[in-house]
Structure 1
Amino acid sequence: MSLARNALLALALAGATMPFSQPALAGSPAPAAAPAANAPRLVIAIAVDQFSADLFAQYRAQFTGGLARLASGAVFPAGFQSHAATETCPGHSTILTGMRPAHTGIIANTWIDQSVARAKKTVYCAEDETRAAPVAGDYVASVGHLLVPTLGERIKAAWPTSRNIAVSGKDRATLMMGGHRIDQAYWWKGKGFTTLEGASLGKTAIEENEAVDKVIAAGAPAYDLPGYCAPRERAVTAGTVTVGTGRFALSPGDANGFRVSPRLDRAVLDLATKLVDEQKLGQGKTPDMLAISLSANDFIGHGYGTEGSEMCIQVHQLDSALGEFFAALDRRGVDYAVVLTADHGGFDMPERLNQQALPQAARADKALLADALSERIAPALGLEAKGLFLSDGPAGDFWVRKGLPAAQKTAAVAAAKADLLARSQVAAVFTAEELAATPMPKGSPDTWSLIERARASFYAPRSGDFVVLLKRAVVALPVPGPGYVATHGSPWDYDRRVPMLFWRKGMTGFEQPSPVETVDIAPTLAALVGLKLPANTFDGRCLDLDAGPDTTCGVEP
């Protein structure tokens, strides 16, 4: 890692405990530096949670709204969240930092830190675990675990008059895209939008919550099923849950039903539009940053899977809602550039996949869980079984109980690795030592080996003692239940591949099918606004969005 990046990491960490503070960022341009003459006045980054490249391709011919507009711009259908930990927090941390999880420090949605001074040792990526929440069982939302600055922060460091705004259906999405130096941060919680502790809801957020309250109180009818969705409407049972025919009728008072429906995305986009007006985004002399993450896709993917009527309705409504959002910006005369991508892909539930030409799709065996592994390994090593291994599922990072002598820990890791590799659902097990010794991967992300994908997610101070990767089509969800029948998080391309779509009024569109990475987004947008940064600031590279001989990257690519 370069000295410049080390300095950035240190300074980002120094400001991490003050979410709305504005510490200086080493390596950023001086405030006097001017934006590019043709820079857009508003940069919009949209992440659609769990919007895989497969979903984009599957429904692309049906787009008539906002997604159709974006598909007329610069289209990269094979974008990659190139790391193995394809979860919400790591994925969002790459989009506007330009850095992989190994450098953002966001290795997963949660990790285990056995040193924290509380009974619960699981740490959430967007919490301050050193502080007690005002409400028992809650947490204090924080961006403190993010080790690096976002593009919005860098823009504010260069041009202090610029605004950095973020809004989402999830706190981790807002904070990972907005960063430490943020002017307004909102996300959905419970029955409406909230913000960071110590900050007040703005007038527009209060107005949006009032509008949402009325919808929830009154309820709403089911969505119509588009004709092209009809073949998707078929009941499939997973455990005690039957899905595949839902249309999102909203019962009066059902706030959770509002959240797990296309209505949530519309509320987020409505709030974003109001914030454009409130904050006068795109009306100043320096570029503003607006980060939007749309979470309904993920809630619906988990709750209903990706191939039923529910997801088909969701994608149809997403296309429509984005079209209305862009039309609202057009009416305001805002000069904006937009990129849309995803934090990760997704995989359908095995019960439906088994019926659709993928009989090898299966749920992970409970024998892969940490408690079961502990029970098998501990007796042979003469150790207490309880808590020998810790994890939050059958795949991903595993930790060995703190306090074991080095020799016993080494033996436990070796025994666990041998045991797991002997099981038919496990593709690979890599120890922390093996990952630390692996160089950061280079080249096209579609060619990376499994250990290289895992390396891109590995950050030694937080990662486990070993990581478990399941075989393709093995879903890391042993038991389905209400709200959770399908998932993501694997190292396979159905979870890694996402679309990357850039659009600006008047640009000449083109399609580049070769693989790119989401870490390429930040340097691409930085170049678009004329933000000059030191070499090696990003893990990604600038993508030239000019379809002709000129370049938007400042230098010949």
Structure 2
Amino acid sequence: MKRRVMTWMMAGLALLSITGAAHADAKPKLVILISIDQFSADLFNAYRGQYRAGLKELSSGIVYPSAYHEHGVTETCAGHAVIATGNHPNRTGIIANEWFDGTLGKDRYCTDDAVHVAATAKRVLGVGPGLLEVSTIGDWLKSASPASRVFSVAGKDRSAIMMGGHKPDGAFWFDGKQGFDTWGVTVDDARTRLTPLAPFNAKLASRIAQHAPIWTYFDKTCKTREAQIPLAGGKTFNSHLPPDLPPPLPGQAATTNPILPPWFYDTVTLEAAVSLIASEKLGHGQATDILAIGLSGTDMVGHVYGSQGPEMCDQIARLDDELGRFLKHIKALGVPVLIAVTADHGGSDIPERLNMRGYPRAERIEPLALLAQLNAGVRAGVGIDWDPLRSALFDPTRLTIVDRDGKVLGDAALRHRIADETAARARTLPGVAGAWTADVLQAHPVDPRLLPDQLSLGDRMALSFYPARTADVSLLFDPMVTAAPLFPGRLLMGHSGASDLNRRVPMLFWWPGVASQERAVPVAVTDLAPTLAAYIGVQPDGTIDGRCLNIGETEDICARK
């Protein structure tokens, strides 16, 4: 009798194993792509032992702890375009959050495409995906399977729009005030596209108006990280919760109104995602659906407070908890689901706190002072009597050469002389890791056989080059150097650089019943889109830079046709 029971048990276990493996390799009905803005590999690993909910479960699947953004200008818009397309910025055309448009004679934001418009926001140049030069995984799916639905929802427009692609059924972003917005061909079209979130928006607006959230400790252990950090000019950054209200900008009156905390952006984004799943019945149709989610809170914390204080500690604890609730909802759907998690870029801590902890090479460069220094040197070196270098406000890493009137310099020979002089002078400055002219980057070959962690600084910057958008001169700073002004409560830290602190992020794949695997070999973030494409059985549209990673349990999913 015991032998017969044992036989039945063994047969049952074998059947369970076969069924589980087949389910894991089956095409999912719902693919969820989550990007956690500024979630560096260092941040992911630093808190990994403290995860209790969503991040703990998502980390129990297939984990690539070292996925690299291979390009050099690591910014939100560029990173989300890489995630969704499998291509570097030198193909996507999305080289940064903004760049100088010589035709317009001013900076151009990455979603100001002059083609589409928002449902509620008023933007002179409109808003939409028109500047994205390639297609996304959502576009590939819509072309192969018209019945499939593709949605994106995020705390930022650039995150939602880049991950949503050119053909989404809806791309929604939180406006930071009262609700979610979207884009369309016309205002009426955009308002129609906003319909799925209209009921959610109404409740959200009322909720914010009646009881704006206050940032107190969710995880009281984070209080041990509180500190008073001396800043230049006699300023002090009081790192604690609730945070101090930011001082008024020049010409503005002081405010006593509470500011929506960064974690609230993640809360409402995940709630909006749940609302979309329910109203659109995602995952319950005959075809596979995609939902991309951009969580922006971590990036907001990093920029304003740095990555090592009580603010980030509490943000990660809240994020873990919110993702736990989200996963419970996903499991309750009862449909085959695949979740992929990564980040658009990494980041580091503020240099003042790094100095307090014994990092002597951590320093802050005042961007306007650096620009003035370079302009003075170039004027003397080239023999001109105007400041020829222009940068976006507080961003001296991308320098455009202009004439006396502030327009792009038309004299090609002089422009080349100024670019060469600028790059040569910049390389001699403390804290500058490298400087390249546009001509050098355009001619720089990148060996595709190199692993992501083997690329030189020049390789990385070349992958961020796109004609007519990349500046005349591009600069990189040392890993622990930040060129950001001191605005406590508003801005203390940037992350646009090619160091591993900024480009190394986690990449996770999870589904119910997945067998846990830690894969330490470095991979590229460009590999994410072709991997998901193979998993759902669609082909990328044209050449892409990434390659498929086999995450199947019983078959090589990369071999699927």
Q: Report the TM-score when normalising by structure 2.
A: 0.86
> Does structure 2 retain, via aligned residues, the 8 Å contact 1:204–1:271?
no
Gaps of 5+ in 2: 1-23, 247-254, 403-407
CA shift, 1:188, in A, is 1.2
User: C-alpha separation between the residues in 1 aligned to 2:141 and 2:401?
Assistant: 42
Q: Deviations over 1:439-461 (max 9, x none)?
A: 13422111110000101111122
Aligned twin of 2:400: 399
Aligned twin of 1:229: 222
CA shift, 1:423, in A, is 0.9
CA shift, 1:551, in A, is 2.1
Q: Given the alignment of the two structures, is residue 553 of structure 1 paired with residue 546 of structure 2, yes or no?
A: no
Aligned twin of 1:62: 50
Aligned twin of 2:259: 257
**Quick check: which one's helix share is greater?**
2
> Does structure 2 retain, via aligned residues, the 8 Å contact 1:371–1:390?
no
Aligned twin of 1:498: 505
CA shift, 1:328, in A, is 0.8
> Does structure 1 retain, via aligned residues, the 8 Å contact 2:228–2:238?
yes
User: C-alpha separation between the residues in 2 aligned to 1:441 and 1:356?
Assistant: 38
> SS where residue 67 of structure 1 aligns?
helix
The letter for the 2-side match of 1:328 is H
Aligned twin of 1:208: 200
Q: Given the alignment of the two structures, is residue 172 of structure 1 paired with residue 158 of structure 2, yes or no?
A: yes
> Does structure 2 retain, via aligned residues, the 8 Å contact 1:368–1:394?
no
User: C-alpha separation between the residues in 1 aligned to 2:94 and 2:315?
Assistant: 28
Give the greater-gyration-radius structure (CA): 2
Aligned twin of 1:219: 212
CA shift, 1:532, in A, is 3.5
Q: Given the alignment of the two structures, is residue 82 of structure 1 paired with residue 83 of structure 2, yes or no?
A: no
Aligned length: 514
The letter for the 2-side match of 1:63 is Y
> Does structure 2 retain, via aligned residues, the 8 Å contact 1:441–1:455?
no
The letter for the 2-side match of 1:340 is V
Aligned twin of 2:108: 123
User: C-alpha separation between the residues in 2 aligned to 1:288 and 1:366?
Assistant: 45
> Does structure 2 retain, via aligned residues, the 8 Å contact 1:81–1:496?
yes
Gaps of 5+ in 1: 1-35
From the superposition, tell whether residues 384 and 249 of structure 1 become closer, same or farther in structure 2 (CA, over 3 Å). Answer: closer
> Does structure 1 retain, via aligned residues, the 8 Å contact 2:534–2:558?
yes
User: C-alpha separation between the residues in 2 aligned to 1:261 and 1:486?
Assistant: 15
Please provide the CA RMSD for this pair. Answer: 2.6
CA shift, 1:136, in A, is 7.2
- Taking only the aligned residue pairs, the percentage that are identical comes to 36
User: C-alpha separation between the residues in 2 aligned to 1:344 and 1:150?
Assistant: 18
Q: Given the alignment of the two structures, is residue 427 of structure 1 paired with residue 433 of structure 2, yes or no?
A: yes
Equivalent of 1:537, from 543, 546, 551?
A: 543
Aligned twin of 1:267: 268
> Does structure 1 retain, via aligned residues, the 8 Å contact 2:129–2:161?
yes
From the superposition, tell whether residues 53 and 132 of structure 1 become closer, same or farther in structure 2 (CA, over 3 Å). Answer: closer
> Does structure 2 retain, via aligned residues, the 8 Å contact 1:391–1:399?
no
CA shift, 1:483, in A, is 1.5
From the superposition, tell whether residues 286 and 331 of structure 1 become closer, same or farther in structure 2 (CA, over 3 Å). Answer: same
Aligned twin of 1:106: 94
CA shift, 1:221, in A, is 4.7
User: C-alpha separation between the residues in 2 aligned to 1:111 and 1:38?
Assistant: 43
From the superposition, tell whether residues 502 and 510 of structure 1 become closer, same or farther in structure 2 (CA, over 3 Å). Answer: same
Aligned twin of 1:15: none
Equivalent of 1:408, from 401, 411, 414?
A: 414
Q: Deviations over 1:15-64 (max 9, x none)?
A: xxxxxxxxxxxxxxxxxxxxx99200011100000111011000001111
Q: Given the alignment of the two structures, is residue 525 of structure 1 paired with residue 536 of structure 2, yes or no?
A: no
> SS where residue 434 of structure 2 aligns?
strand
User: C-alpha separation between the residues in 1 aligned to 2:57 and 2:236?
Assistant: 37
Aligned twin of 1:439: 445
Q: Report the TM-score when normalising by structure 1.
A: 0.86
The letter for the 2-side match of 1:346 is G
User: C-alpha separation between the residues in 1 aligned to 2:136 and 2:75?
Assistant: 19
User: C-alpha separation between the residues in 2 aligned to 1:254 and 1:155?
Assistant: 48
> SS where residue 341 of structure 2 aligns?
strand
> SS where residue 85 of structure 2 aligns?
coil
User: C-alpha separation between the residues in 1 aligned to 2:205 and 2:116?
Assistant: 30
CA shift, 1:262, in A, is 1.0
Equivalent of 2:463, from 456, 465, 484?
A: 456
Q: Given the alignment of the two structures, is residue 158 of structure 1 paired with residue 144 of structure 2, yes or no?
A: yes
